[in-house]
Structure 1
Amino acid sequence: MTTNNQSSFSEPSTSQDFNLKKILSSYTKRWSWFLLSLLLALGIAYTYIRYTTPQYEAYAKVKIVSDDEGSGAGAAFKDLPMFSGAESAKLEDEVAIVTSRTIIEDVIEELDLNIQFFVQGRIHETELYDNAPFNINFIESDSIVNSSWLNFYIEPLSDVEFNYKAYENDVPKKMEFGESIQTKIGDVVITPKSEDVSNIIGKDIRVQMTPISSLVPYYKYQIRLEPIEKNSRIVRVSMQDPVKSKAIDFINTLIEVYNKNTIREKNIKSKNTADFIDARIKLIEADLAKVDDVAESYKTGNKLTDVASEANMYLGVSAQSEQELNIVKNELNTINFMTGQLGEPGDSFDPLPTNLGLADESITATAAKYNELLTERQSRLRSSSEKNPIIINLDEQLSTLRNSLRQSLDNSAKTVKLRMNSLQNQLTKVNSKLYAVPGQTRELRDIEREQTTKEQLYLYLLEKREEATISLTATSPNAVVVEQAYGYSNPVSPNKKIIYIASIFIGLLLPFSVIYVRDLLDNKIHNKEDLVGTISNITVLGEIPRLKFGNTLNAFVQKNDRSLLSESFRIIRTNFDYVRRARSVKAYDNVIFVTSTVNGEGKSFFSANLALTLANTGKRVLLVGADIRNPNTDIIKAKAKTSEGSKIGLTEYLNDGSISVQDTINTFDLDGNKMDMILAGKIPPNPAELLMSDRMKPLFDEVSIDYDFVIVDTAPAMLVTDTLLISQFAGHTIYLTRAGYTEKSILNFTKELHEKNKLNGMMLVVNDVDQSNFGYGARYGYYAANEKKGFLKRLFSKAS
């Protein structure tokens, strides 16, 4: 039976294969999501660009000049070791100075950037910088003005009058230009910069005054200084601001202020240096005169001439004696080494070193002879033993030579020791004479050294005093302008190209991510392909499309219906007929059970429509509501026109032996399509026991004979045991699953039912399949009515 249950229209499992086309189709069929997300992202990007204040960039190039390239106090001492670190100005230090708080505060104050004028717009306001319309004159001191917050509104009415508001929602107060206005920081006088103010009449202008200290962080953050190349002294100074001309002025003023400060500091250093050098020269002059007097008195009192030359002579003799003594010591070490190599009488014969540079050549000749005999002995030993007379004779000769060498070496050692003692005595005498050189020589050297040092320092200070004096009149700035500040015509922010590219990327990424995560977390079946991939050995009869209205129980196949729903049931009817003929079931071949795993998968909807589809062929069809726990087929009674029938159902029949099968049958007419039906009846307290009644078999025996098809709507097989209790009366079982509802994991229960043959002739159907996942009928719409839809309707139907 299991073999017969396979059919040609059940596909093999391919769930483990990588299917690129399927993966791409999950995204392409939701193309409307991508389109809507892309349009939304582009709209947000356009709005952001439209209403974001543009930022313009200005830049200049300057060369940072070190002190050695210009003048100043640093240049005066650049060759001293203690000032060598300042020989070339560190670029990082200069950058830190340029962006220091003090310099930026000076720039803000010089350009009056703490006072700003804004023209009110519909969305945002625009700053007036180049054509600021008014002069703001404060009675209070600059220190108070530069550290205060103030905000007020001006609306020019004419060349002489304007409306004044301290706050935006205040009632305007009419005033005249030049009139004193009381504010929280003191009186303010406003005057127009030009006689013609017609271009700003009627415009709301906001005047904002900000403390300079509060503006410093903003401008410090905006300023960028970086070398154009590594190790280059040319620095690119750049800045971004909503007003291009303000950025240009700020950069130029920043360079000017920096140069003024560096020149001022250099002049202060040069003056201080010159004063310091003058004081030092006076001290050195006095010290040098004292040293000259001491040197003159010392030489006269001790009657010294050139004692240094005599001391140098003794030093030369001492060095020569030490050299000769080292040579004699080396010779003695050589003799001792060779004596050690001879060994003691009775030791084995070993080769002796030659050409060691001994003064006694006879020792060298004897050693050479010794080595020749030893070589001959070793050569003969290769072919004879030590008892050979020749070997014995050679041993005697070698012993004689060794004794002779030992005696010669002892004599040479005694001679060398005598020479060494003589040289040591000579060296002692020379050193004593050297040590006897008068100590006055050293004292004289100290006096002359101090005299030379004082003289060199005196001459050096005279030279530096002249350089420092010159630097006072020739001070150059640290920053040389290579390129004046220049501003780009197009704004650098917001970057339209980058923003649009980013919006396109985000617009495509967002739906992609949603679909990807949704598919990643999805554990439900969605169409026939998913079902076959999960259960490959059970026939799948077909798919039921998702209906466009709410309750599917209200949708029934009508007579001569050409809808997609009707065609889907016709396909299932045809496939079922094919499987039925192939199985050749003898008992209850026309009884079809409809069940599912859990509740809500559409059993009653499918049972009713399958019965109507079979009835459309002229067959006699009976629909039995066997789900007596939760009957849903009774809705047909409310939708149809009842021709004949009663209120008695299956529950009453099983419970009351006096009720016959015919008493329970109701005939319904749905738009001309007639069908008999046994209702479920009242919900009993013991449904399982009631279904085990002996009256079930007579019921199925009778109706299977009287009708061409008997469709039985049963309870969910996994939740309750009702369906399994009466499964022996089923010739075929259609097992319903629902797209987007039935989880793949619970289909293991379906596999178990099939493997253990608990349900006869199991066949599968996928209900509520989305048309984007549906098969041929929905894709090509061959039989379905061609409904014309507008673009938006098609768009949202795709998205759903």
Structure 2
Amino acid sequence: MNSQLTNNISQTDFNLKKAIIRYLKHWKWFAFSAIVFLVLAYFHLRYTEPVYSAQAKIMLVDEKSSGAPGKELLRDLQSFSEVENKKTEDEIEVLKSRKLMENVVKELSLNKQFHFEGRFHNSQLFKNIPININFIASDSIVNEADFKFTIEFLSEESFNINFKEDEIPTKAFFGKSIDTPIGDMILTPNFKEFNNVKDKVLSVRLRPVFKVAESYREKVTITQIKEFSKVINLSLKDTNKDKAISILNTLISEYNRNSIEDRNERSKNAADFINERISLIASDLSQVDDKIERFKTANKLTNITSEVDLYLNSSAQVDQELAETKTQLNQISYMKNVIGSKSMEYDYIPSDIGMSNPSITNITNKYNDLLRERNNLLKGSTTEKNPIIVNLDQQLSSLKSSLNKSLNNLSKSTEVRMRSLQNRYSELNSKVYAVPGQVRKSRDIEREQGTKESILLYLLEKREEAAISLTSTSPGVKIIDEAYSSGLPVSPNKKMAFIAALLVGLCIPFGVIYASDVLDTKIHNKEDLQKVFKNMTVLGEIPRLTNSDKLLIEKNDRSILSESFRIIRTNADYIRKGRKVENYNNVIFVTSTINGEGKSFFSMNMALTMANTGKKVLVIGADVRNPQIFPAIKKALNTKEIKNGLTEFLVDDAINVKDVVNTHLINDIKVDVLLSGKVPPNPAELLMGDRVKELFDNVSQEYDYVIVDTAPSMLVTDTILISQYAGHTIYLTRANYTEKEILNFAKELHDDKKLNGMMLVVNDVKQSNFGYGAKYGYYGTPPKKRWFSFGKS
């Protein structure tokens, strides 16, 4: 049931207009909160020391283009090679370094802070400081000191000084030693006119240098203008614009000074390194020259190249002769094979194979001529035994034998010559093979000599460059814009401060109202009930009354209370006529969930409203456990004592209805009342008796309307026990009192039909929360004067 109620409420459509009106109802709180925060913003701006901003713009310069031969030298030497272009991010970190900022603090004496004390805030001084401070102690002690004192100027020669607030100031004089926590101090005046410092209190604070440096290191903002750019923006916010400008300019100067010192140090180290290397290289070069001299003397060499060429030419000539000799031997061998072969006995002997011996050539030609003649004769003869042919065969044999002897002699002489050429070729080759080793040794020595000579010349050149760089090093950054300030404070921003104060002033009531709505678990008006109960009639709303309002309506009453009950009466009559209840149609029970929701108040005013129309009305106080009818009408009751009530009637059968019903004139309206009587010990059992039916049978016939004020339905069972005698039931809820969660009980009563003809009423509703037309006021009532309106009628 709880989840169903939550779903019913969450499924309602959001109404923007209603939400806006919800907050506009509390416009006074919004206005009050906004005014309070605007006033606070005014005083904050009035007594807050303004903050100024200073900016500067620089560009990093490459060391290659800034004239740093020392680094170029080290880059060329490769042993000390570095990244060619330094990263901008790295240089930003250098600018942010603590060491650099400490140098700035020392340079500008920022560890000494001066203020003129004011009523609400102190005025910081940077230039035109009225005194000069000189300490006897060393700078290292002063830079770590942490103490303060105040000075009140008495005259041009004297002043009061105080190191502790709770102590009496001590009179001192300019130029005289003053004892301090770090030793003696001497103050000298630095003002032109005494009237400029008269009646002013100067506060002086000494802080450790590292703390001041850390503070400003966090305040300085250093950013790259864009990615991959070497242009850097520097900015600083401070209560003194001159100080901010000086800090940025000094920071840039310190960076340049450090970069120049660093480059000079590298150049000096490079020069020292070069001088050392020149001494070593000169010594090595002298040793190499001695080695070349000893090598040439030992090998008897003057010009190795020309001698090698001679050996190579001779070797090539011998090799060619040797090849020709081998060819001749092969020719001789071939001819011997041809002559000695039986299968080639009468074949021609080749004569054009390149033989250089004339005798062999003649014999060969003669042999071939005789062989040609023999072959011609054989063509005309039938036999080889022809005497001419036989004679030719003998001559051929003789020539072949002579040729073979000549070939053998030529072969032997050729072999002797070939062996001689081979020996000559081996001798020349041995000399040629010996030369490369000598050449290699000579070239190694010459190469070493050339290398050391080139290194020596290079180092001599770079030594001159390094010497020049010591006097020509340029800064590491180029200043694009020196530090400057617009002179207008960046904080506090008056416009934004007032806007923020206004927004905060409006947001706080908004947040409180929104939180109260989110955490709110109670109903507030008719619309809240209708969101929960979809199939149950809500008769109307009863307005909240002030202490000056009357609790009971009067005759011819035109108040809002009276009009709200008239609306409820009209709606109830309409519902009653439509239901067509056979029994007890004129009996109306008034109940609620818990105590305190206004049942008795509603019952009496409902009865007075109905009686005001001339109807005969009876009010029964059926809440016998906690009677409230009597306190509600106590002032309007007759003076005669009322002895009996409902309890006495139910207990004593001898008492009639007329004995317990009394007629009263309340605010000139005649109405009958049956009070609850004494509180019985057994109220539930008493209400279950037969006398209850007798009572309702009698009064339903006797009266036009019977209004029954019953007990809370959830707390006790009394109302359920007598619900059968009710033709209709008005279920009362109270705004800002009844929890939405306990309305589940009312839904159960309605769904289970435990109460007849249930109708809902919301009591104690603020007029600003009235649902529908009721929030616009009641027709004919004097309109309330409003402080503002959104339109005219």
Which TM-score bucket, shorter chain as reference? 0.7 to 0.9
Counterpart AA for 1:490: L
Q: 1:418-453 deviations in whole A, cap 9, x for unaligned?
A: xxxxxxxxxxxxxx9999985455544443433332
Please state if 1:639 is matched with 2:635: yes
Q: 2:524 is matched with which residue?
A: 526
Q: 1:156-188 deviations in whole A, cap 9, x for unaligned?
A: 122223222222343233333333322222222
Q: Find the residue that maps to 1:472 and give its secondary structure.
A: helix
2:274 to 254, 259, 277: 277
Q: 1:714 is matched with which residue?
A: 710
Q: 1:489 is matched with which residue?
A: 487
Query: How far did residue 637 of structure 1 move?
Result: 4.1
Q: Find the residue that maps to 1:69 and give its secondary structure.
A: coil
Q: Contact 1:15 / 1:534 at 8 angstroms: preserved in 2?
A: no
The verdict on how the C-alpha distance between 1:111 and 1:17 changes in structure 2, with shifts beyond 3 A counting, is closer
1:229 to 226, 246, 263: 226
CA distance in structure 2 between the aligned counterparts of 1:97 and 1:545, rounded to whole angstroms: 75
The verdict on how the C-alpha distance between 1:453 and 1:684 changes in structure 2, with shifts beyond 3 A counting, is farther
The verdict on how the C-alpha distance between 1:50 and 1:600 changes in structure 2, with shifts beyond 3 A counting, is same
Farther off after superposition, 437-446 or 745-754: 437-446
Please state if 1:734 is matched with 2:730: yes
CA distance in structure 1 between the aligned counterparts of 2:448 and 2:552, rounded to whole angstroms: 124
Q: Contact 2:304 / 2:439 at 8 angstroms: preserved in 1?
A: no
The verdict on how the C-alpha distance between 1:689 and 1:140 changes in structure 2, with shifts beyond 3 A counting, is same
Query: How far did residue 543 of structure 1 move?
Result: 0.9
Q: Contact 1:136 / 1:188 at 8 angstroms: preserved in 2?
A: yes
The verdict on how the C-alpha distance between 1:212 and 1:17 changes in structure 2, with shifts beyond 3 A counting, is closer
The verdict on how the C-alpha distance between 1:669 and 1:163 changes in structure 2, with shifts beyond 3 A counting, is farther
Aligned 1:153-168 pairs, distance under 5 A? 153-168=150-165
CA distance in structure 1 between the aligned counterparts of 2:22 and 2:438, rounded to whole angstroms: 108
Q: 1:605-663 deviations in whole A, cap 9, x for unaligned?
A: 21121112222223332211111122222213433242545132212221222322223
CA distance in structure 2 between the aligned counterparts of 1:684 and 1:435, rounded to whole angstroms: 147
Q: Contact 1:738 / 1:769 at 8 angstroms: preserved in 2?
A: yes
Q: Contact 2:734 / 2:763 at 8 angstroms: preserved in 1?
A: yes
Counterpart AA for 1:158: S
CA distance in structure 2 between the aligned counterparts of 1:203 and 1:308, rounded to whole angstroms: 106
Q: Contact 2:51 / 2:238 at 8 angstroms: preserved in 1?
A: yes
Number of aligned residues:
660
Q: 2:747 is matched with which residue?
A: 751
Please state if 1:577 is matched with 2:573: yes
The verdict on how the C-alpha distance between 1:435 and 1:634 changes in structure 2, with shifts beyond 3 A counting, is farther
Q: Find the residue that maps to 1:766 and give its secondary structure.
A: strand
Q: Contact 1:650 / 1:681 at 8 angstroms: preserved in 2?
A: yes
Q: Find the residue that maps to 1:102 and give its secondary structure.
A: helix
Counterpart AA for 1:280: R
1:244 to 214, 217, 241: 241
Q: 2:551 is matched with which residue?
A: 555
Please state if 1:466 is matched with 2:488: no
Query: How far did residue 219 of structure 1 move?
Result: 1.0
Q: 1:723-742 deviations in whole A, cap 9, x for unaligned?
A: 11111211211111222333
Please state if 1:295 is matched with 2:292: yes
Q: 2:283 is matched with which residue?
A: 286
Q: 1:480 is matched with which residue?
A: 478
Q: Structure 1: 5+ residue runs without aligned partners?
A: 1-11, 314-431, 795-800
Q: Contact 1:563 / 1:785 at 8 angstroms: preserved in 2?
A: no
Q: Contact 1:643 / 1:667 at 8 angstroms: preserved in 2?
A: no
CA distance in structure 2 between the aligned counterparts of 1:468 and 1:745, rounded to whole angstroms: 92
Q: 2:644 is matched with which residue?
A: 648
Output the TM-score relative to the length of structure 1.
0.76
CA distance in structure 2 between the aligned counterparts of 1:663 and 1:773, rounded to whole angstroms: 44
Query: How far did residue 49 of structure 1 move?
Result: 3.3
CA distance in structure 1 between the aligned counterparts of 2:526 and 2:537, rounded to whole angstroms: 11
Q: 1:100-158 deviations in whole A, cap 9, x for unaligned?
A: 22222222122111112211122221112222111122222222222111211111122
Query: How far did residue 250 of structure 1 move?
Result: 1.1
The verdict on how the C-alpha distance between 1:669 and 1:188 changes in structure 2, with shifts beyond 3 A counting, is farther
Please state if 1:622 is matched with 2:618: yes
Q: Could you say which structure has the larger radius of gyration? A: 2
Q: 2:48 is matched with which residue?
A: 52
Counterpart AA for 1:91: T
Q: Contact 1:120 / 1:205 at 8 angstroms: preserved in 2?
A: yes
Query: How far did residue 224 of structure 1 move?
Result: 1.9
Please state if 1:704 is matched with 2:703: no
The verdict on how the C-alpha distance between 1:517 and 1:637 changes in structure 2, with shifts beyond 3 A counting, is closer
Counterpart AA for 1:689: E
Q: Contact 2:553 / 2:667 at 8 angstroms: preserved in 1?
A: no
Aligned 1:368-383 pairs, distance under 5 A? none
CA distance in structure 2 between the aligned counterparts of 1:82 and 1:499, rounded to whole angstroms: 61
Aligned 1:123-522 pairs, distance under 5 A? 123-302=120-299, 303=301, 305-306=304-305, 438-522=436-520
Q: Find the residue that maps to 1:541 and give its secondary structure.
A: strand
Please state if 1:603 is matched with 2:603: no
CA distance in structure 2 between the aligned counterparts of 1:600 and 1:438, rounded to whole angstroms: 127
Counterpart AA for 2:120: I
Q: 1:66 is matched with which residue?
A: 62
Q: Contact 1:562 / 1:784 at 8 angstroms: preserved in 2?
A: yes
Q: Contact 1:278 / 1:465 at 8 angstroms: preserved in 2?
A: yes
CA distance in structure 2 between the aligned counterparts of 1:617 and 1:745, rounded to whole angstroms: 38
2:118 to 116, 121, 129: 121
Q: 1:222-262 deviations in whole A, cap 9, x for unaligned?
A: 12222323222222222111100001111112222222233
Counterpart AA for 1:655: V
The verdict on how the C-alpha distance between 1:659 and 1:284 changes in structure 2, with shifts beyond 3 A counting, is same
2:667 to 668, 671, 688: 671
Output the TM-score relative to the length of structure 2.
0.77
Q: 1:750-771 deviations in whole A, cap 9, x for unaligned?
A: 2333333322222111122222
Q: Contact 2:52 / 2:491 at 8 angstroms: preserved in 1?
A: yes
Please state if 1:85 is matched with 2:67: no
Q: 2:756 is matched with which residue?
A: 760
Q: Find the residue that maps to 2:609 and give its secondary structure.
A: helix
Q: Find the residue that maps to 1:453 and give its secondary structure.
A: helix
Farther off after superposition, 527-536 or 22-31: 22-31
Q: Structure 2: 5+ residue runs without aligned partners?
A: 1-7, 313-429
CA distance in structure 2 between the aligned counterparts of 1:39 and 1:296, rounded to whole angstroms: 106
Q: Contact 2:777 / 2:783 at 8 angstroms: preserved in 1?
A: no
Q: 2:340 is matched with which residue?
A: none
- Identity among equivalent positions (%) equals 53
CA distance in structure 2 between the aligned counterparts of 1:788 and 1:681, rounded to whole angstroms: 46
CA RMSD in angstroms, aligned pairs only: 3.1
Counterpart AA for 2:452: K
The verdict on how the C-alpha distance between 1:13 and 1:77 changes in structure 2, with shifts beyond 3 A counting, is closer
Q: Contact 2:116 / 2:124 at 8 angstroms: preserved in 1?
A: yes
Q: Find the residue that maps to 1:143 and give its secondary structure.
A: helix
Q: Find the residue that maps to 1:532 and give its secondary structure.
A: helix
Q: Contact 1:222 / 1:240 at 8 angstroms: preserved in 2?
A: yes
Q: 1:363-390 deviations in whole A, cap 9, x for unaligned?
A: xxxxxxxxxxxxxxxxxxxxxxxxxxxx
Query: How far did residue 221 of structure 1 move?
Result: 0.7
Q: 2:534 is matched with which residue?
A: 536
Q: Contact 1:622 / 1:707 at 8 angstroms: preserved in 2?
A: yes
Query: How far did residue 518 of structure 1 move?
Result: 3.5
Q: Find the residue that maps to 1:624 and give its secondary structure.
A: strand
Q: 2:678 is matched with which residue?
A: 682
Q: Contact 1:639 / 1:670 at 8 angstroms: preserved in 2?
A: no
The verdict on how the C-alpha distance between 1:433 and 1:568 changes in structure 2, with shifts beyond 3 A counting, is farther
Q: Contact 1:13 / 1:532 at 8 angstroms: preserved in 2?
A: no
Q: Find the residue that maps to 1:282 and give its secondary structure.
A: helix
Q: 1:440-467 deviations in whole A, cap 9, x for unaligned?
A: 5554444343333222211211111010
